[in-house]
């Protein structure tokens, strides 16, 4: 399955606690259809050596809209399935 969103694209979150926030795509998990967006769904972890650290968590693919570079408008991202020959 091919995703319409790629690393480096700008997306807007359309549901959840970070609704309305925009950010760049940091990474994709194509098997689970999850996206890591910069500054969205921040998670806190504690370790004895490093103390408290925060980092981005994964957001479901269906909860984001792709922001077009030319028009700056948000469009719903879709999945492309491979055509069977």
Catalogue all structural domains in the chain, each as residue range(s) with its CATH number: 2-77 (2.30.30.30)
User: For every residue of 1-45, which 3-state class applies, written as one string?
Assistant: CEECCCCCCEEEECCCCCCCCEEEEEEEECCCCEEEECCCCEEEE
Please tell me the distance from the alpha carbon of residue 42 to that of residue 37, in angstroms, as a whole number.
10
pTM: 0.74
Output the tens digit of pLDDT for each of the chain's 85 residues: 677 889 999 999 999 899 999 999 999 998 999 999 999 999 999 989 989 999 999 999 999 999 987 676 676 665 555 555 5
C-alpha to C-alpha distances, 68 to 3, 32, 47, 75, nearest whole angstrom: 15, 24, 39, 7
């Amino acid at each position: 399955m091919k995703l319409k969103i790629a690393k480096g694209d700008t997306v807007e979150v359309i549901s959840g606690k970070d609704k309305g926030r925009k950010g760049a795509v940091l990474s994709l998990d194509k098997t689970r259809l999850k996206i890591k967006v910069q500054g969205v769904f921040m998670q806190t972890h504690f370790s004895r050596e490093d103390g408290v650290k925060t980092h981005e968590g994964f957001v479901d693919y269906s909860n984001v809209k792709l922001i077009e570079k030319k028009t700056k408008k948000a469009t719903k991202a879709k999945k492309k399935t491979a055509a069977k020959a």
